[in-house]
Structure 1
Amino acid sequence: MSEQTLQRVDMVRVRDLRRTYGSGPAAVHALRGVSFDVPRGELVALKGRSGSGKTTLLNLIGGLDTPDEGEISVDDTEVVGLGESGLLRLRRDRIGFVFQSFGLIPILSAAENVGVPMRLRKVAAAERDERVALLLGLVGLADHAEQRPGELSGGQQQRVAIARALANRPALLIADEPTGQLDAETGLAVMELLRAVVRSEGVTALVATHDANLLGLADRVLELSDGHITEDRSQAA
């Protein structure tokens, strides 16, 4: 393996990313030339007020939206220009998503919710069950496998959502305000869980949050304001 290959350890590479919604006087310039890299295995927190561009940036990196200009690479795959089938594979196989709203299926148990992504990939039942049990144990819900979302607290539901996001062993975990519906203590516990998951599963994570109390758990903090990165700060573990 060449020295150049050994040095290439970025999970995410973003170059001159621009995204505008609307046109004319009503145009909203969500991103205005954003560039940064995220090394593999790093937990990066995106900080900024509502409307600063955090969600737009995550949606572009996750292939949920298309930039007006710029380049995005995730796990050595160029995202911009991928066809819909390529984007579907990227999101299914390489990226896990965690949202503020949990997004669990109400009629399914916690275990069944975690298993959904593997069913879509047609993973064998025995392998799927083993992975579900491992992940529920990882997020501290081994004893709640058969409960449905309505029988779980908000923090427990978000833990199920995190386990589901990890089901297909993603290289990148994208979390958009994952603690937004939780109280401060539960939110801190969920953020600590995300940090532990990054370490134990070897994934890279991008987490958008407006909660200053959670930023100290990140390896690095990127602050966005008016579509620009205004601060890029690394932190001691």
Structure 2
Amino acid sequence: MNFFQPGSRDASAPTFNGSLIVQVEGVSRDYGSGGRVVHAVRDVSFTAGKGELVAIRGRSGAGKTTLLNLIGGLDRPTSGTVHVAGHDVTAAGEQELLLLRRGTIGFVFQSFGLIPILSAAENVGVPLRLAKVPPAEREERVAMLLEMVGLGAHAAQRPYELSGGQQQRVAVARALANDPQLLIADEPTGQLDSETGRSIMDLLRALVRARGMTALVATHDASLIDMADRVLMLRDGALASPDPALA
């Protein structure tokens, strides 16, 4: 699924036209207290525009997952602000965060996170059930999403009957169920072989272009970096700019 050529890779501010979907300003996240404070994220600022795939690169422990959790409202920063599609994530209450995670933000995780007793179609339909989408509309949308990720013929299969790459495609389809403006993918290829991992990144890039959404993809796989429009490098929780690997 190789519909689009990768864009220029530049760690500076984006030059994309259109609205900014992600605005991160001076975000830090500390854990612990006294002499045992761990600075997981340190004063990170960046923006991401509509229709842009941004790779967040760094070694294990660099702060990638923590940063994505802060942007997705799964954690709160010690300082700084996060805005997603005009919503102040850092100031949002639990109910607003729940609505954001159900409608504005989609998540894809390394471990797939599928419900083993449900079929592929039923897994994709979970967010639509939570949103109380009528059954006929839900079934139509699920079928369309599975076709979109190349799994239309596997709708009735359960996760254990699918390969790792197929399971991750189901997870991508589920993340897209409520048509999010931002897709957050945390090491989505971490459990896949290199060829399958590249096909998943290819799929994400094509979906970003076709649907005009924004994607933040954390990865430490250097072979996948060239598929992003822009690369942000994290070192010890801080943003390194410019990324020397791209010089």
* TM-score between the two structures when normalised by the length of structure 1: 0.94
Residue of structure 1 equivalent to 2:73: 63
CA deviation digits over 1:171-216, x for unaligned, max 9?
0000000000001111011110110111112210000000000010
Residue of structure 1 equivalent to 2:23: 13
C-alpha distance in 1 between matches for 2:127 and 2:103 = 9
Q: CA deviation at 1:31?
A: 1.1
C-alpha distance in 1 between matches for 2:63 and 2:71 = 12
Task: Give the percent of matched residue pairs that are identical in Structure 1 and Structure 2.
Answer: 66
**How many corresponding residue pairs?**
227
C-alpha distance in 2 between matches for 1:11 and 1:231 = 21
SS of the equivalent of 1:180 reads: coil
Write the mapping of 1:15-164 to structure 2, written as runs, cut at 5 A: 15-164=25-174
C-alpha distance in 1 between matches for 2:241 and 2:196 = 27
CA contact (8 A) 1:221 1:232 kept: no
Q: CA deviation at 1:231?
A: 2.8
Amino acid at match of 1:195: R
Residue of structure 1 equivalent to 2:233: 223
C-alpha distance in 1 between matches for 2:242 and 2:96 = 31
**What are the ranges of 5 or more consecutive residues in structure 1 without an aligned counterpart?**
1-6
C-alpha distance in 2 between matches for 1:232 and 1:46 = 13
CA contact (8 A) 1:43 1:219 kept: yes
Q: CA deviation at 1:74?
A: 0.1
Q: CA deviation at 1:41?
A: 1.0
Please, which of 185, 201, 214 is the counterpart of residue 191 of structure 1? 201
C-alpha distance in 2 between matches for 1:232 and 1:217 = 18
Q: CA deviation at 1:23?
A: 1.7
**What are the ranges of 5 or more consecutive residues in structure 2 without an aligned counterpart?**
1-16
- Tell me: higher relative CO, structure 1 or 2? Use CA pairs within 8 A at least 6 residues apart: 2
Does residue 170 (structure 1) correspond to residue 170 (structure 2)? The answer is no
C-alpha distance in 1 between matches for 2:20 and 2:124 = 28
Q: Which runs of 4+ in 1 moved over 6 A?
A: none
C-alpha distance in 1 between matches for 2:235 and 2:224 = 19
C-alpha distance in 1 between matches for 2:49 and 2:73 = 19
CA deviation digits over 1:124-183, x for unaligned, max 9?
111111111111011100110000000000000000000000000000000000000001
C-alpha distance in 1 between matches for 2:49 and 2:41 = 22
Amino acid at match of 2:185: A
C-alpha distance in 1 between matches for 2:121 and 2:148 = 13
* TM-score between the two structures when normalised by the length of structure 2: 0.90
Does residue 182 (structure 1) correspond to residue 192 (structure 2)? The answer is yes
Residue of structure 2 equivalent to 1:3: none
Amino acid at match of 1:21: Y
CA deviation digits over 1:91-136, x for unaligned, max 9?
0110000000000000110001000000000001111111111110
In structure 2, the CA distance between the partners of 1:183 and 1:126, relative to structure 1 (3 Å rule), is: same
